[in-house]
């Protein structure tokens, strides 16, 4: 089984959505996902909680966490979430970057668009890697 890390700076928005989508859509016998950040926030953004709850994914107990060497050690892929120069780099770990806007403070209509773009990208990743 392989592990994917979805990472952004605060681990409170895009990366939380991506890991939740991945763990719902991928075959858990083939791959799982975690999310992390370089400067984790105190909690998941409320607008992210709201739009994920709309589709039946409860992130109320999700807690932003630090991206550590230990967490990254056994990962197959690090997907950064459009955080530019603040995105984490882990030597030796394959990395992809998804340039997505930060949902923090945006209207729910915009956060829904980001949520669906994250879903589309997660589905494409799962299909490309044979993790369905």
Each residue of 76-90: pLDDT tens digit? 999 999 877 777 677
Q: Distance between CA atoms of 126 and 22, rounded to whole angstroms?
A: 8
Could you report the per-residue pLDDT of 19-76, keeping only the tens digit for each?
999 999 999 999 999 999 989 999 999 999 999 999 999 999 999 999 988 888 889 9
Number of domains in the chain: 1
Range of the domain at 31: 2-129
User: In CATH, what number is assigned to the domain containing residue 75?
Assistant: 3.40.50.2300
With 0.75 as the threshold, say if the pTM is over it.
yes
Phi/psi region, residue 93 (left: phi>0; alpha: psi -120 to 50; beta: rest), is beta
In angstroms, what CA-CA distances link 69 with 27, 34, 38, 74, 78?
25, 14, 11, 9, 12
Closest CA to 45 of 33, 63, 57: 63
């Amino acid at each position: 089984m392989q592990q994917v890390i979805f990472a952004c700076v605060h681990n409170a928005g895009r990366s939380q959505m991506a890991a939740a989508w991945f763990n719902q859509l991928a075959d858990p016998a083939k791959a799982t996902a975690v999310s992390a950040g370089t400067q984790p926030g105190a909690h998941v953004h409320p607008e992210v909680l709201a739009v994920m709850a709309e589709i039946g994914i409860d992130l109320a107990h999700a807690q932003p966490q630090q991206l550590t060497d230990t967490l990254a050690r056994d990962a197959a892929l690090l997907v950064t979430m459009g955080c530019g120069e603040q995105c984490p780099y882990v030597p030796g770990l394959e990395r992809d970057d998804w340039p997505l806007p930060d949902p923090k403070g945006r209207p729910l209509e915009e956060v829904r668009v980001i949520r669906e773009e994250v879903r589309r990208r997660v589905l494409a990743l799962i299909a490309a890697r044979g993790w369905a």
